[in-house]
Every structure is written in structure tokens, then in C-alpha cells.
A and B are shown apart, each in its own frame.
Chain A
Amino acid sequence: MTAAIDIRGVTRSYVVKGKPDFMALKGIDLTIPRGEVHALLGPNGAGKTTLCRILSTVLLPTSGTVTVLGHEVVRDAEKAKQCLGVVFGGDRGLYNRLSARQNLNFWASLYGLRRGERRRRVDELLDRMGLAQRADERVQGFSRGMKQRLHLARGLVSDPGVLILDEPTVGMDPVAARDFRDLVRELRADGRTILMTTHDMAEAAELSDRVSFIDDGNLALTESPTTVGNIVSTRERVDARGVPQEVRDRLTGLAGVAAVSETEAGVLRVETEHSEATRQVLMTIVAAGVTDVSRSRPSLEEVYLHLIGRRGMAVGG
């Protein structure tokens, strides 16, 4: 069966005046089977949005090929567009002076839905997104969560097989984000293929079948959230408070200690490569009279930090 999304050797460079070309993507290979929810994780400027824009036919790759449900997005863009729903995050992308219904009618018409079908589809989506009660109100009075639900409805208006969600929950309050995740779960149950970019590790772990880590235009890893956890499960972590400086120095020198750092909350964090090293670290800390000690496995967020580095706030290149 054809993959829903097939990305082969995709690069994308930008011309920057007076500087060498900036490579936003440096040869991405990724295949996403039909029905999969796939999360794309990475710091700002890693290339996630560039990849989404290429997939959604908005941007041309410099080299490589991308197919969506068998349609190549450069040569066969018109057919690819019919299979794709695109939802960019944030407040923008809606006609604020139109009502929710008018917005959906607008896009449904452009995607070629005939009157009866359009009416049925728009009503169904408004109902599904919980917007039916306010369907005829101007969008400018909507909350961010309501706007994002309308964005999702807009992305679904042509009943696409593949949905691209670029930072869909950015800026949402926790309740709106939870509601939005419930909607994505429903879409997954429909059998749609969803590619979403996010900074929210919990969201990625909760919703996706597989996650890909992208950094500096390269794909660092693609696995299921559970497998990713297992890959790094040999790494362990010991957190402790009130550890004297001389003990910290000794911990750094212990065999099997990968890193010693201090969190923003002032907790000493020791990462170890195996259980024996963890035992040695615990013994050293306890022997120094420290009792506020805990041990744990890394979360997906820490895996992200381990793979990508602590550059989440930095803009790459």
C-alpha cells in the first residue's frame, strides 16, 4: 500500500544576502504509513515548519521528492492539495470579519464542494468542533481555543486523507489544549494520517504513534514514544538537594557518570550510564549525609533534551 507521506532526500536552502546559503533541511528521509499520527519535535528553527510547508505545497524543496498519497507535491501539486488539510498554529489564518460558517463555506467552495455537500459538511464540522452555537458570529470575537478549533475544521473541510498540524496548540490554555487533543484523537479514530509539529512533549507522547526528532535540518531519530524511552532507559537520573561542593566534584569523577548539572530549582542532577554507576552515586551522596535524594528514568522531554541539546529557546541558523 502507498505510504501516506513519503519524503526522500529533501533539502531546502535559503539565499541570505552576503552570507552562504542557509540550509533549513539537510536531506530528510521519512515515511509515514496511512492512519499514523506522527509528531515532529525539535527546537525553534530546526526545520519543522519548513518541512510542513513543503508537504503542504506552499514551499518548493531545493532537492528531493515528497509524495502525499501518491501525488508528488512539486509536479502534481494540484492533486496533492486535494488530499491535504493544513492547519497552521496561532491566531492568524482566518477571515476575522466573516462568521465561522462563512469561513468554512469559503474554503469548502475553493476546494470544489457543491452547495448541498458543502452545507452538510460545514454543519457537521461546526457541530463536531463544538462551534454550532456560535456559527454565525464573527470570528474576531472568538477565544484562541475556538479559533484553533475553527482552524482544524477548516483543515478538514475537504475531508483530506492527510492532515498537517503545525504547532496546533501553541498559545492555548490547558483546557483548550486538552479539548483540542481530544479532537485529534477522534481524527485518528477516523483513520486519517496526521503529521503534527509540537513543542509539547506530553502531547507528542500522548497522541502520536511515532515521533521524529529534527535538529538543525537533520532527522535525529524516528521511533514510537515507548521505544524512544527504551533506547535511553540505560540512562538513569539521580536528583539530590543540599549536596556539598566536594561531593559534587567526586561525583563528576565517578565511572559511568554521564553528566552532573544543577536544575533551575537548585537540584543537583546526576545522569548515569548504567545501574552500577547509579548505585555508586547514591552511596556517595548518602554517605555525605544527604537525605533528600530521588532516582528516576528520563521522560520524553529529557530524551528530547538529550538528543537535541538544551537549545529549545535558541533559533538555529
Chain B
Amino acid sequence: MGIHALRVMTAVRQGFIVARTDFAWFYTWKTWLGGWLVRVLCQVAFYSIIGVTVGDPDYVVHVVLGAALMICVAESLMTVASTTWDLNLGTFPLLAASPVVPGGYYFGRSMMWPLSATATTSIAIFTMSLFFDLHWTAADVPLVVVLVLLTSFATYCMALVIGAVALLAPGARNVMSAVVTMAITAFCGAVVPVDFWPSGVGWAAQAVPVTHGLNAIRHLESGADLGVVARSAGLVALVGVVWLTVAMIAFRGLFNHSRRGSASLS
């Protein structure tokens, strides 16, 4: 392993230690299960019941999976806020003065969110499936979890880019994540099919990982050929890698920007 790769791995690992500690500070197992998970299930159930009132069984499936995957988006987008926490802690200038690989550190720094998102979304999908008549084979179960994991991490990579922007305007971090969550919910096929919108919006939605993640899981639920599922999953991974590359460049650029004397980063 090259020296740079080793430094990247070290930065990711150390970032993850901070992430794990922060997460343990927010949640115990009891509060995660009894607070966060219950809230999430209620939200998915709420949207799913709206689907039932429409009276179309296919639309119920569409909404149950859409609402569940939106949890994965919302939780992964918490990264936008946690990316700015080093500014409040005063550790940002110390990181800038250290030999850290910025993108590696930030990739580890908020990793608790996509991991938690994978758990909550998977539980939501399987729990709501019991109540809203969605069917999975035993072989589907691990595939669903893998697809949710993939979508969570790809969304996480996108959130890192937004987080990098939020470092320049930390006061607007919550507004940024709220606006992005709202736009994704509206335009990426969670509740309303993507082709409902003008073609420009549809094209923009292709840059969002969850658009392809939803396709993959819906194909799987409908019993489509695994090749079709794999194609959508490949698109999730591809879009995620693009976002990750942009994130790495953005964090390097931010550290250079801070050296030039950015007021928000000093």
C-alpha cells in the first residue's frame, strides 16, 4: 500500500472514531430504537397510508418504498451539519496545520449517518412490508440491505459535497440540507414518478443516487430480472463515485481556500 493510501486510510479511520463517539453521545440503543426508529416508522407509515387512500395497490408499493428511501436520504444528509462541527470545536485550523488528507478525514467524520440510515431504512422497508402487502423472498432480504447500504453511502458522498459548501456558510447548513431533502423528495421519484416532471428535472434527478436506488429496489420487489436490478445498482455506485471524487477535490480546495484567509474558516 502506498504512503498516500495509508494516510487516506488513517484519516478515514480517525474521522470514524470521532463519528462513532459523536453518535454514541446522541443515541443509546434505547433512544435510537425507542425514539429515532419509532419516529421514522411513523413517518413512513403516514406516507404509506396516503398511498392506500389513493386506492391503487401499485402506488402503495411505490410510496412505501419511496418514503422508506427518503429516510435514508434525510439521515445521510445530516452529514451537512456534522461536516461543519469542526468549525465550532475549533479543530478546523489544527486540521489545516496537520498533515491530514482532508477528504479522507471528512469521509470518516460523518460515517455514522449512512450506517444508521442503512439500519433504519432496511427496518422500515421490512416492517412496512408486513402492513402494506409488499413481498420479498428470503434471497431478496440481503439484496435489499445491500441496495440500501449502497444508496446510503452514495447519498452520503453527495452530502459531503453539500457539507463542503456549508463550511463556507455554516449558518445556512440546516437550510441547505432541508432544501435538498425537499427537492429530492419532490423530484427523484419518492412519491411522484420522475417522468411526471419536465425532462430537464428528470435529467437532473439522474445525478441523485436515490433516484437509481429507488429504481433498483422497486425492480427487485416487482420480481424483475437481477440484471435490471444490477444495472440500477451500478448507476447508484457510479453516481456515488462521482460525488465522492467531487467531495475529495472540494475538501482539498477548502483547505487551500482557508490558507488564503477565508473568514468563515478561520
Q: Are A and B associated in one complex?
A: yes
Residues of A at the B interface (CB closer than 8 Å) are 12, 14, 53, 56-60, 78, 81-82, 84, 86, 88, 90-98, 102, 106-107, 109-112, 154
From A94, A97, A109, give the contact of B14 (CB < 8 A).
A109
Residue interface bits B5-43, CB-to-A below 8 A is 1, else 0:
001001101100110011001000000000000000000
A53 to B97, CA, bound (A): 9
Interface of B is mostly: helix
A residues less than 8 Å from B13 (CB atoms): 109
A78 to B97, CA, bound (A): 9
Contact A93 B90 (CB under 8 A): yes
B residues less than 8 Å from A90 (CB atoms): 90
Pairs A–B under 8 Å by Cβ, sample size 5:
A81-B98, A93-B91, A109-B14, A112-B10, A112-B99
A129 to B54, CA, bound (A): 68
A106 to B21, CA, bound (A): 12
Contact B260 A60 (CB under 8 A): yes
Given A14-B261, A97-B21, A97-B22, CB of A58 within 8 Å of CB of B96: yes
Contact A106 B17 (CB under 8 A): yes
For window 95-131 of B, CB contacts with A under 8 Å fall at: 96-100, 105
A residues less than 8 Å from B25 (CB atoms): 97
Contact B261 A109 (CB under 8 A): no
**10 interchain residue pairs of minimum CB distance:** A92-B90, A93-B90, A56-B97, A86-B97, A97-B21, A60-B259, A110-B100, A58-B96, A81-B99, A58-B93
Contact A109 B259 (CB under 8 A): no
A110 to B18, CA, bound (A): 13
Q: Tell me the count of chain B residues lying within 8 A, CB to CB, of chain A.
A: 26
A59 to B261, CA, bound (A): 6
Contact A95 B97 (CB under 8 A): no
Contact A95 B89 (CB under 8 A): yes
Given A59-B259, A106-B17, CB of A53 within 8 Å of CB of B100: no
B153 → chain A closest CB, angstroms:
23
Contact A81 B97 (CB under 8 A): yes
A residues less than 8 Å from B11 (CB atoms): 110
A residues less than 8 Å from B266 (CB atoms): 53, 58-59
A87 to B171, CA, bound (A): 27
B residues less than 8 Å from A109 (CB atoms): 10, 13-14
Report if B258 contacts A (CB, 8 A): yes
B residues less than 8 Å from A111 (CB atoms): 98-99
A136 → chain B closest CB, angstroms:
13
Report if B94 contacts A (CB, 8 A): yes
B172 → chain A closest CB, angstroms:
19
Contact A88 B94 (CB under 8 A): yes
Contact B18 A86 (CB under 8 A): no
A98 to B19, CA, bound (A): 10
A260 to B49, CA, bound (A): 85
B residues less than 8 Å from A94 (CB atoms): 89-91
A residues less than 8 Å from B91 (CB atoms): 92-95
List the A residue with the shortest CB-CB distance to B13: A109
Contact A82 B99 (CB under 8 A): yes
Given A78-B99, A106-B17, CB of A58 within 8 Å of CB of B89: no
List the A residue with the shortest CB-CB distance to B3: A112
For window 221-261 of B, CB contacts with A under 8 Å fall at: 258-261
A residues less than 8 Å from B21 (CB atoms): 95, 97-98, 102
A210 to B236, CA, bound (A): 61
Contact B97 A106 (CB under 8 A): no
Contact A106 B90 (CB under 8 A): no
Given A60-B260, A95-B18, CB of A110 within 8 Å of CB of B98: yes
From A12, A57, A78, give the contact of B96 (CB < 8 A).
A57
Given A81-B98, A98-B17, CB of A110 within 8 Å of CB of B10: yes
A60-B261, A81-B97 known; 18 new pairs, CB 8 Å cut-off, are A53-B93, A58-B96, A58-B266, A59-B259, A59-B261, A59-B266, A88-B94, A92-B90, A94-B89, A95-B18, A102-B17, A102-B21, A107-B94, A109-B10, A110-B98, A111-B98, A111-B99, A112-B10
B residues less than 8 Å from A95 (CB atoms): 18, 21, 89, 91
Residue interface bits B177-199, CB-to-A below 8 A is 1, else 0:
00000000000000000000000
A31 → chain B closest CB, angstroms:
22
A310 → chain B closest CB, angstroms:
28
A residues less than 8 Å from B7 (CB atoms): 112
List the B residue with the shortest CB-CB distance to A57: B97
A112 to B260, CA, bound (A): 26
Contact B89 A88 (CB under 8 A): no
A84 to B93, CA, bound (A): 14
Contact B97 A58 (CB under 8 A): yes
B residues less than 8 Å from A107 (CB atoms): 94, 98
A residues less than 8 Å from B10 (CB atoms): 109-110, 112
